[in-house]
Amino acid sequence: MTQDELKQAVARAAIDYVVEGEIIGVGTGSTANFFIDELAKIKDSIKGTVASSEATAARLRGHGIPVFDLNEVDSIAVYIDGADEITDEGAMIKGGGAALTREKIVASVSKQFVCIADGSKLVPTLGNFPLPVEVIPMARAAVIRQLAALGGQPRLRTKPDSTDAFITDNGGEIIDVAGLAIADPVALETQINGIVGVIAVGLFAQRGANVCLLGTADGVKTLAF
């Protein structure tokens, strides 16, 4: 099976976690896009969605699926999203698609986090994938110095084929930190969140996944944490 077929399989399996008549939180990225396409088939059974990025909101609306502003919503039954890495304890690195801050916000008000990922995302230790950190642009250099002091190699994310900084939906910039072997994801999340100028770090450990649907050659495996 190709990686896309594995992503499609977990996106399909995630439909079982959609709660009828409720608001569903929807993540960002290629796996989340497959999920949106599956959700479109049952769109009349849900009240609507909250999107974790402008791109996701556009894809949902393109399918005629209602998208609510989070401020209009009291609670979200389930949040369904991909990950760049996930451990067998449900801690994740996210933000490869630059949507980490909104993903974290939507996840924080969701009763359940269902991670959908192809098998390559399951790792023994987080950190092989460079850790994304969203920052206020004026704090970029100061935050980079502090991230370097943690032992990583921070690098400003740029627009494709350009040296200009990539700008997020929130007007922030992304620093990708390579070379971290993250032994204690909860502690590192707290530490990086404490750096002045950081908007959010792409470590999802304090609020990790409750369930991971993992696409493998032997079918979709369910990991519960």
- Binding ligand 5RP (rule: CB under 6 A), the pick from 9, 35, 87, 94 is 94
List the Cα angle 192/194/197 in 5-degree steps: 85
99/104 Cα distance (integer angstroms): 9
- Binding ligand 5RP (rule: CB under 6 A), the pick from 25, 90, 96, 208 is 96
Residue 218 in tokens? 């032997």
Taking phi first (over 0 means left), then psi (-120 to 50 degrees means alpha), and beta for anything else, what does residue 127 get? left
Site string for ligand 5RP, 15-54 (x = CB under 6 A): ------------xxxxx-----------------------
C-alpha to C-alpha distances, 95 to 29, 175, 182, 201, nearest whole angstrom: 9, 10, 16, 8
Residue 83 or 131: the one with the smaller Cβ distance to ligand 5RP is: 83
Residues marked active site are found at 103
Residue 140 or 157: the one with the smaller Cβ distance to ligand 5RP is: 157
Applying CB under 6 A, does 8 fall inside the site for ligand 5RP? no
Task: With CA atoms as reference, report the closest residue to 3 among 129, 117, 83, 122.
Answer: 117
C-alpha to C-alpha distances, 188 to 31, 78, 80, 100, nearest whole angstrom: 26, 26, 24, 16
Residue 102 or 140: the one with the smaller Cβ distance to ligand 5RP is: 102
Residue 10 in tokens? 């977990």
Site string for ligand 5RP, 52-91 (x = CB under 6 A): -----------------------------xxxx-------
List residues near ligand 5RP by CB under 6 A.
27-31, 81-84, 94-100, 103
